[in-house]
Amino acid sequence: MTIAKGDKLPDVKLTKATPDGPEAVQSSDFFAGRKVALFAVPGAYTPTCSAKHLPGFVENAEALKAKGVDEIACTSVNDAFVMSAWNKTDGSDDITMLADGSGDFAKALGLDADFSAYGMGQRSNRYSMIVDDGVVTELNVEGPGEFGVSGAEHMLGQL
């Protein structure tokens, strides 16, 4: 079953990339009591993710926060070290990187995808969502090979 608007996020362990190293965090704790703009990418450093998806959220971070977003987070089926390095090279302090190393969060959302044909194995679909106190209020899932509705610009129009 795929997560839908109005659903509560599943409680799954993620790993937050911090300057001091990986930090375990439960999704229920991370999303509790605030509005989070979450976006997911198939992989850190991949072409569309690095050229369009992450940069759009970096460029629009202030505008998203001005519209009531408390935190902007990115998740990917990568480890926390890769997510931290990607944030250092292409991201900003405005983006919290949440590693979903085993893909448990993507699977629990029903938004996992098989990228084996590209040598990447099991990953996450590209999507974005607005989560208000753990509940999905907007959900934007891309079709295979697409980028548009999951971008920061689209999300700004939803807030």
What type of residue is 68?
G
DSSP of 142-158, one letter per residue?
PPTT--STTSHHHHHHH
From the list 9, 17, 44, 49, the catalytic residue is 49
Model pLDDT, residue 121: 59
Which of these, 4, 2, 24, lies nearest to 14 by C-alpha position? 24
CATH code for residues 13-158: 3.40.30.10
pLDDT the model gives residue 50? 79
- 49 noted as active-site residue: yes
Share of the chain above pLDDT 70, in %: 96
Do residues 90 and 13 make contact, with C-beta atoms less than 8 angstroms apart? Answer: no
Give residue 99's pLDDT. Answer: 96
Residues of the chain with confidence (pLDDT) below 50: none
Phi, psi of 59 (to 5 degrees): -65, -30
pLDDT for 41 equals 93
Phi, psi of 11 (to 5 degrees): -90, 105
What is the model's pTM? 0.93
